[in-house]
Homo-oligomer: A and B are copies of this chain.
Amino acid sequence: MTAKEANSWTRIRGELLRRINERVWQPGDLIPGEVDLAEEFGCARTTVNRALRDLADSGLVTRKRKAGTRVAVNPPHKATLTIPIIRADVEARGCVYRHALVTREERYLPHHLGGAFRLPEGAQLLYTETMHYADDRPFIFEERYTNVDTVPAFGTMDFEDISANEWLVQNTPYSGGDMVFFAANADETLARYFDTAPGTAVFAIERTTWDGSDPITHVRMTYTPGYRMRTQI
């Protein structure tokens, strides 16, 4: 109906999708088990499993052992954002990338990071501020707290040739973290950096990463005014 299905588990997913969309199976309904569907479609159970697993990943059905598979009542929209290395992002726009280290100093754990960073009393972090440029225009302002106990080599870098952002991505594996997306009004400093009026709305991302239970880094990336982050769904 919408697109051509090559030949495989995607065709089965398409048929299941059709039944969900056309209300053959209503939201909340229990749908047949994998064995039954496999028989109906004349394929192996593995293939049905692949199709159902994909639908579950996109949130359209919920699956539980013994309980079976149900059509989701409120299918959430899911969007996968790909946040590239800043250098790659800039160069993909056909611009020349450049960065400059603005600040670099030891700092105590800021109070507002207490929740994210479980560190001993008075633990010191390396604080760095970096401006990333696209064709000499400020593109992203990066404020970062890094736990040098977890990443000793980080403390010895000068970040002339490579930015803190790039170095960490290439050298520090992480096991998990969280990200926050929000809007903020540019303060005096930020406005001066971006050559705009104070109060201008800017898009920002905060990211905290851990390796196991060891905190690695907390960073806020503030994007140039007017930046729009896109994705396909």
Contact = CB atoms under 8 A, between A and B. Distances in A.
A183 B180 contact: no
A65 interface: no
A27 B170 CA distance: 9
A192 interface: no
A216 to B, nearest CB: 12
Contact of A76 (B21, B84, B201, B231): B84
Given A170-B27, A232-B176, A232-B178, A185 B199 contact: yes
Interface residues of A, number: 54
A59 B169 CA distance: 13
A78 B184 CA distance: 23
Contact of A182 (B81, B180, B229): B229
A201 B178 contact: no
Contacts of A7: none
Given A180-B229, A202-B183, A229-B180, A83 B79 contact: yes
B76 A85 contact: yes
A10 to B, nearest CB: 13
Given A21-B173, A201-B201, A82 B76 contact: yes
Contacts of A3: 175, 212
Contacts of A112: none
A177 B233 contact: yes
A2 interface: yes
A194 interface: no
Contact of A211 (B2, B179, B180): B2
A103 interface: no
A231 B185 CA distance: 22
A203 interface: yes
Nearest to A74: B85
A35 to B, nearest CB: 20
Contacts of A232: 176-179
Contacts of A64: none
Given A76-B82, A82-B78, A181 B229 contact: yes
